[in-house]
Amino acid sequence: MTENELIEGLIRHDRNAFRELVGNHRKKVIKTAFYFTQNMEDAEELAQDIFMETIESIKYFRKSSSLSTWIYRITVNKSLNLVRKNKRKKIFSSLEDLFSKKSEAGVQDLREPSHSATKLEENERRALLSQSIRSLPENQRITFILSKYDGLSYKEIAEVMNISISSVESLLHRARLNLQKKLARHFSEYVKK
């Protein structure tokens, strides 16, 4: 099935087109959603929403970019919405914790570990990395994830984000510098302890 046939099929709500769409893009959608949310359950639930949205809005697709780029755009938007929603939830629950005098054990564990930087447990390293990526400005975070995790070219990222290639280069450069700075500062504090 060509891309045009697939799009026509999706507009007609053809079952074979649905199967083709999910078969071709499932892995990419779930993985990208996971890179943003860092939670596989959330990523799978998001994937369902992303495919629903793709089919529902396919009639508005103008074919100025590839279908894949368009699906990436929906994936990034949906993932960022969920991350924002979870962040709001976290703020409310931490406020609740503050009033009920619960300690922020997870955050403290990450800030004040008792062992050497090189001997960090994998889950601690994962938490540190995702915390550092999450703390990047949104556009830097998107370029970093699409480039480093998804392996997209500058041109592809530019199409997904609807910005120029030079903007992508600049955002990615700043994202890498910021991440380096955050991680280097973190490990430098370890060494000094």
Partner 1 sequence: MECKDIRQNLFGIVENTLSPAFMAEVENHLTSCRECSEILSGFRQTTAIIEKDIAMEPDPFSGTRILQQLESAFFPEQLSERRSYFRILQPALLTLSLIVAILIGHSIGKKGINIIPAASSDQEMESVRSDLFISDFTDEDKTLFLNQ
Find the part of the chain contacting partner 1 (CB under 8 A) among 35-43, 76-84, 91-99, 159-167.
35-43
- Asked if 154 is part of the footprint of partner 1 (rule: CB under 8 A), the reply reads no
Single out the residue of 6, 7, 34, 143 in contact with partner 1 (rule: CB under 8 A). Answer: 34
Nearer to partner 1, 81 or 116 (CB): 116
Cα dihedral: 78, 82, 88, 90 (round 10) = -160
- Asked if 183 is part of the footprint of partner 1 (rule: CB under 8 A), the reply reads yes
- Asked if 26 is part of the footprint of partner 1 (rule: CB under 8 A), the reply reads yes
The number of residues that bind partner 1 (CB under 8 A) is: 45
Single out the residue of 74, 120, 136, 157 in contact with partner 1 (rule: CB under 8 A). Answer: 120
Tokens of 11: 């507009």
Positions in 42-71 near partner 1 (CB under 8 A): 43-44, 47-48, 51-52, 55
What contacts 150, CB < 8 A, 6 or more positions away?
28, 31, 32, 35, 72
- Asked if 128 is part of the footprint of partner 1 (rule: CB under 8 A), the reply reads yes
How many helices (H) does the chain have, and how many strands (E)? 9, 0
Tokens of 56: 């529902």
What contacts 43, CB < 8 A, 6 or more positions away?
30, 31, 33, 34, 37
- Helix, strand, coil percentages for the chain (3-state, nearest 5): 80, 0, 20
Interacting residues with partner 1 (CB under 8 A) = 13, 15, 18-19, 22-23, 26-27, 30-31, 34-35, 40, 43-44, 47-48, 51-52, 55, 116-118, 120, 122, 125-126, 128-129, 148-149, 151, 176-177, 179-181, 183-184, 186-188, 190-192
